[in-house]
Amino acid sequence: MFSNANYRAKMVRALAQALDGEAAHLRKYYWLGKGAAFSGGILVGIALFASFQGGRPSVVWLVAAGTLGGLLIGLSIYFNSSVKQWPVLKRFINVQAVQEAVRQDEL
């Protein structure tokens, strides 16, 4: 799907941007996590209320809403844990090596 050189260059640039604009990077992931949690919770709630509702709801829509809600909640866990892990990971990143790799990929 991706060539190794292009993927490496994208990852190095993304890491350099995260190191340069740390506050903006953390804020973006924080709000992505909160938005995904809220949206996922709404969808799971809709699926649960629809399943307990009288009558015959469409099973396909219940499964689709529940699955999408669960995926969004999983993404929120990923985003929120990445925000919490960043201060620990940042201590082990060689900033000069990342900046040098960005310069080499730009040539």
pLDDT value, residue 91:
92
Write the pLDDT tens digit of every residue in 42-57: 999 988 888 887 666 6
Place of tokens 């995260």: 18
Write the pLDDT tens digit of every residue in 4-31: 878 888 889 999 999 999 999 999 999 9
Distances (CA, A) of 39 to 6, 36, 74, 91: 33, 5, 11, 33
pLDDT value, residue 97:
92
pLDDT value, residue 57:
65
- In terms of pLDDT, which residue wins out, 56 or 2? 56
pLDDT value, residue 54:
67
The count of structural domains within the chain is: 1
Can you give the residue range of the structural domain that contains 27?
4-106
